[in-house]
Amino acid sequence: MLYLIDLSSMKNMGKTLTYQTSAFNSCHMIFKDSINVGKLFKLEWIGSPVEATINDSKYKFFVKGFFNPTISILDKDKNHNIGEVKVRSFFKFNPTANMILADKKQYFWKIQGYFRYMWEWRNQGGSVIMKSSNKESHLFDNEGTIQLFEAITHEDLMVALGIQLQQITQRKNAFTQIIGLIGLIFFLLNQLSHLYLN
């Protein structure tokens, strides 16, 4: 008996990408087998938008809001909005996001760990289709590995958005820690002033 197997749908299964950036550089370089296949970069040092170029895909992300931002996704080649991502990070230890595309497909993103080193994308059925494991980053360095477990249509978009969402949540985590530290310093100074005044 002869079996024919279509391997074209399995070409991405087990695929591994890496990404990295260095201190004070807002550009993430994306690699496959040590070959640069894309980048994710900000057009301005502070603020939005962010552009991504991976393989033959080009996207622009517009972030609106701070506590629970929404990211609009623009396909630069077709020059139209192809979906949006709603981030749920306010009062959440491990932020999540829900991406709804123009073709009505939904994907779910979440980050794990106190320092936001790992993230994953899940499909509507709850299966993990993409996962990132990052090396411990230094002050502004960031590098990691992205493992794809399933062939997906929007692979390039999800790689770029996964990195972008991680950056958003890491910045918020740092901001929250700084605000907490400032609050603690004011509290301690207030307590010290009461000790010396009494």
Which whole-number Å values give the CA distances from 7 to 68, 154, 174, in the listed order?
Answer: 40, 19, 44
Return d(Cα 163, Cα 171) in angstroms, integer.
Answer: 12
CATH architecture label of 13-197: Beta Barrel (2.40)
Torsion region of 82: left, alpha or beta (phi above 0 gives left; psi -120 to 50 gives alpha): alpha
Residue 12's pLDDT band, with cuts at 50, 70 and 90, is very low
pTM (2 d.p.): 0.74
Q: What are phi and psi of 92, to 5 degrees?
A: -120, 130
Q: Which helix (H) or strand (E) segment is 31 a member of?
A: strand 27-32
pLDDT in tens, 29-74: 899 999 999 998 887 766 668 899 999 899 999 988 777 788 999 9
Regarding predicted confidence, which is higher, 171 or 58?
Answer: 58
pLDDT in tens, 68-93: 788 999 999 999 999 999 988 666 66
Tell me what pLDDT residue 11 has: 43
Tell me what pLDDT residue 38 has: 92
Return d(Cα 61, Cα 72) in angstroms, integer.
Answer: 6
Lookup result for tokens 């010290």: 192
**Domain locations in the chain?**
13-197
Regarding predicted confidence, which is higher, 107 or 180?
Answer: 107
